[in-house]
Amino acid sequence: MTSQHAPIYLAGQTGCGKTAVALEIAKQLGGVEIINADAYQVYRGIEILSAAPSAGEQEQCPHHLFGILGPDEECDAATFAKMAKAAIEKVSNRAVPLVVGGSGLYLKAITHGLAPTPKSEPELREKLDKRSLESLIEEYERLDPDGAAQTNLKNRRYVTRNLEICLLSGRSASEIKKEWENNAPELDAAYLFRDREIIYERINQRTHAMIAAGAIAEIAALPNFSATAAKAIGIREIKAHLAGEITRNEMIEQIQQITRRYAKRQASWFKRESAFQRVEISTTESPAETASRILSELERTRP
């Protein structure tokens, strides 16, 4: 029986150069397949805006979970984790799964496992099904305002299930969904980051590059977005520009600012994640050198 290959997790700030380092790890290690762990690179049609690996980059080794959902499809951390775990399981039978992304919650859902939510109770579900969507939304917003703000309230199934969790547990569904099955997993995992001023400058430059590469036309061609996909940085700003509400320069500046804030939140998130080894990338270091350093460090610290 063939033994399974343990996955490697590569996280990092937006714009830090994860894709280039991941490809170098795949090249140096051999027998590697890359699995997406970015919340927005899972969507088709926003490849430019989400900075998904190019077709040429994806040809260098097998890639999974990139562009597998339409932009009008919903996808939360639990759904994504289920898909990612299935991909990891499948790939690990033949190659090393290299899980790459910057979405802290999605990565943690994969590595730590989301805590189980209360099972549905038929009697309660029957009562909820008889109520109007408006009344369900009203109670859901009262019991879990944060969760309601992040939910597609037009989707009755989502609203009903989340309200059901609130009622059965006596707690907010969004709070429960941030709890974990395993608080201290042993992982081969690295988190890439750069000096703050350098990452901010890279973000500013990448925003200009995205716009030059056709990000505006990319969004204009996709009229419908799910509540999840619509949160991708740049969609709201590009739509505002297309509607004549802001200028091109204002759009670019807003995207840059929001992306810098996101990078700051990523830095805060991964400071708390002890399972990920922190790897700072210097301005003089090539992706190949960073990859070699990561592999050496993971080998050194592996039990």
Residue 5 contacts by C-beta under 8 Å, 6 or more apart in sequence?
31, 91, 92, 93, 94, 95, 96, 97
* 64, amino acid identity: H
- Which pLDDT does position 184 carry in this prediction? 64
**DSSP alpha helix (H) spans, 221-286:** 235-242, 248-271
What is the tens place of the pLDDT at every residue in 249-300?
999 999 999 999 999 999 998 998 888 999 999 989 999 999 999 999 888 8
Looking at the domain covering 8-113+185-301, what would its CATH class be? Answer: alpha beta
Residue 224 CA, chain-centre distance (Å), reads 20
- Which pLDDT does position 116 carry in this prediction? 77
Q: Report pTM.
A: 0.81
pLDDT tens digits, the chain, 303 residues: what are they? Answer: 356 899 999 999 999 999 999 999 999 999 999 999 999 999 999 999 999 999 999 999 999 999 999 999 989 888 999 999 999 999 999 999 999 999 988 998 999 888 778 888 889 999 999 999 999 999 999 999 998 988 888 888 889 999 999 999 898 988 887 777 666 678 899 999 999 999 999 999 999 999 999 999 999 999 899 988 999 999 999 999 999 999 999 999 999 999 999 999 999 989 988 889 999 999 899 999 999 999 998 888 765
Closest CA to 62 of 11, 89, 97, 108: 97
Residue burial 138-147, b: 16+ Cβ < 10 Å; e: rest: ebbbebbeeb
Residue 154 CA, chain-centre distance (Å), reads 23
Residue 227: count of CB within 10 angstroms of its CB: 17
Helix (H) or strand (E) holding 210: helix 196-213
Please state the domain extents for the chain. 8-113+185-301, 122-176
Distance in angstroms (rounded) separating the CA atoms of residues 288 and 60: 15
What is residue 229's DSSP assignment? G
Distance in angstroms (rounded) separating the CA atoms of residues 140 and 156: 11
Residue 5 CA, chain-centre distance (Å), reads 23
> Are 51 and 206 spatial neighbours (Cβ–Cβ below 8 Å)?
yes
